[in-house]
Amino acid sequence: MGQASSVHGVWSKRWTFVLAATGSAVGLGNIWKFPYIAGENGGGAFVLVYLFCIAAIGIPIMMGEVLLGRMGRQSPVNTMLSLAKTVNASCSWVLVGVSGVLAGFFILSFYSVIAGWALAYVVKAVSGSFVDVSAQQIGQEFDALLHSPSTLLFWHSLFMLMTCTVIAKGINRGLQATVYILMPLLFALMLVMLGYSMTSGNFEAGAAFLFNFDPSKLSGEALLVAMGHAFFTLSLGMGAIMVYGAYMPANESIGKMVVAVGFLDTAVALAAGLVIFPIVFANQLDPGAGPGLMFVTLPIAFGQMPAGSVFATVFFVLVVFAAWSSSISLLEPAVAWLVEHRGLSRLSAAMFSGVACWLLGLGTVISFNVASEWTLWDKTFFDLLDFLASNVMLPLGGLAMAVFVAWILPLDRVREQLQDFSEGLLALMIFILKYVAPALVLAVFARSIGVL
């Protein structure tokens, strides 16, 4: 039997898991990355593959990840170790937890730099600096931000501080309290923006771009990107969802909660697309603009619309909130592990891991300026970390978790955690975790390295 509670406590309110896991899932991935990679990969066809990956692989793996967490009730490292021991499996399963902690570190180090851009843009928006400025000037301002290591460092440091402050306060006074405030605000702000784009943007063109299916635009690389992004956006494969599962009370339904998280995450990504593309098309901008889509293209549009500074402020505050509720989940696995393993207080664990992550973030900071020429396989330090974590570590971590749940754990242990599942539903989930998810993840990998 799983323990009833963890040393870190359990969520004291009923909806915390959904809010916290949605907070983790909804982030820069939905608002910044999804629209621009959909734009770069041709729109509708990419979106369809992405939705398929969420439903067919993402949701079942998320259920598996949460149930592992709730059975182990510790950080992902110790959860995997103790579960492997109880079922007499190899202790090397601990590597799944270790790679998760590392992936969280890698992701947070660059995530915080990008979230820092959003912080900088809140200030720009409030001060009205997009109003009546030419498209060229806005582009130059973004370039100037990227080319200033000290400015990037300032915002990166502030964002890491915000993240560590929440983490240090513990799971109920810190994480739970924060998501109860941020998530409703985030949804409200999103609705305001959606209302704006529906009434003032070229909504039809935006929607057509997102939903018109043109298979000729799908490359092997696009499949890998769609799958990697499904893992990234649902925060899967690195233990963030596992550790949130570890704090979930024993009587809550994993199935229902996970479906709610998957639904809300997808809704926000599509809504972000439906906010951004109508504005892009109404202003004859380029949907394939890449990472600058949200930071260059949108401000150009904000600068031309009535009350643009207000909408720009709303929008970038929304992005910061979304990033903040995700960043805390990126650090929590490491902090939980330091508390368990080293007996550190949460404050020391948060500070120690926060400083380490901040240091690694310096690599991303300089990859946009002084070190932009330092590349490996044509990728800068930032690109490499993103590729390695999102497209390799998360899918492989998720794959390993699926294998552990479906092949290693006795079925009865899984059934105990999913008591509201009918036998048919349970069999379906195990089938997906056993065969479908591994086959799809491996096929996409094989295709991307040219074997298939």
- Give buried/exposed letters for 397-412 (b at 16+ CB in 10 A, else e): bbbbbbbbbbeebeee
Two structure tokens written together for 113: 């730099």
Q: How far is CA 280 from the centre of its chain?
A: 24
- Chosen residue from 179, 223, 240, 301 binding ligand PFF by CB under 6 A: 240
- Chosen residue from 2, 29, 35, 43 binding ligand PFF by CB under 6 A: 29
DSSP count for the chain of H helices, then E strands? 22, 0
Contact status: 294 vs ligand PFF (CB under 6 A): no
Contact status: 64 vs ligand PFF (CB under 6 A): no
Measured over the CA atoms of residue 289, residue 292, residue 293 and residue 297, the dihedral's sign is: negative
Two structure tokens written together for 174: 């810190």
Please report, as a single letter, which amino acid is at residue 161. Answer: L
Beta bridge partners of 379: 376
**Angle subtended at Cα 410 by Cα 405 and Cα 414, rounded to the nearest 5 degrees:** 55
- Contact status, residue 147 vs residue 369, Cβ threshold 8 Å: yes
Judged by CB under 6 A, the stretch of 22-30, 64-72, 168-176, 400-408 that binds ligand PFF is 22-30
Two structure tokens written together for 154: 């300032």
> Least distance in Å: CB of 69 to ligand PFF?
12
Considering CB under 6 A, how many residues would be counted as binding ligand PFF?
Answer: 16
- Chosen residue from 16, 24, 266, 364 binding ligand PFF by CB under 6 A: 24
- Chosen residue from 19, 28, 146, 334 binding ligand PFF by CB under 6 A: 28
Contact status: 233 vs ligand PFF (CB under 6 A): yes
Contact status: 235 vs ligand PFF (CB under 6 A): yes
Q: Which is nearer to ligand PFF, 32 or 277 (CB)?
A: 32
Q: Which 89-108 positions form the footprint of ligand PFF (CB under 6 A)?
A: 104, 107
Contact status: 27 vs ligand PFF (CB under 6 A): yes
- Chosen residue from 25, 67, 115, 405 binding ligand PFF by CB under 6 A: 25
Q: Which is nearer to ligand PFF, 238 or 444 (CB)?
A: 238
Closest residue to ligand PFF, judged by C-beta, is 29
Contact status: 116 vs ligand PFF (CB under 6 A): no
- Chosen residue from 283, 329, 417, 448 binding ligand PFF by CB under 6 A: 329
Q: Which is nearer to ligand PFF, 27 or 273 (CB)?
A: 27
Q: 8 Cβ partners below 8 Å, 6+ apart?
A: 170, 171, 246, 247, 336, 339
Instruction: Give dist(CA 20, CA 243) in Å, integer.
Output: 11
- Chosen residue from 6, 16, 22, 30 binding ligand PFF by CB under 6 A: 30
Contact status: 75 vs ligand PFF (CB under 6 A): no
End-to-end Cα, the chain, rounded Å: 43
Instruction: Give dist(CA 348, CA 360) in Å, integer.
Output: 18
Contact status: 238 vs ligand PFF (CB under 6 A): yes
Two structure tokens written together for 197: 């784009």
> Least distance in Å: CB of 356 to ligand PFF?
17
Phi-psi region of 244 (alpha: psi -120 to 50; beta: other; left: phi over 0): alpha
Judged by CB under 6 A, the stretch of 43-51, 91-99, 188-196, 322-330 that binds ligand PFF is 322-330
> Least distance in Å: CB of 332 to ligand PFF?
9
Three-state helix/strand/coil letters over 322-380: HHHHHHHHHHHHHHHHHHHHHCCCHHHHHHHHHHHHHHHHHHHHHHCCCCCCCCECCEC
Binding site for ligand PFF (CB under 6 A): 24-25, 27-30, 104, 107, 232-233, 235, 238, 240, 326, 329-330
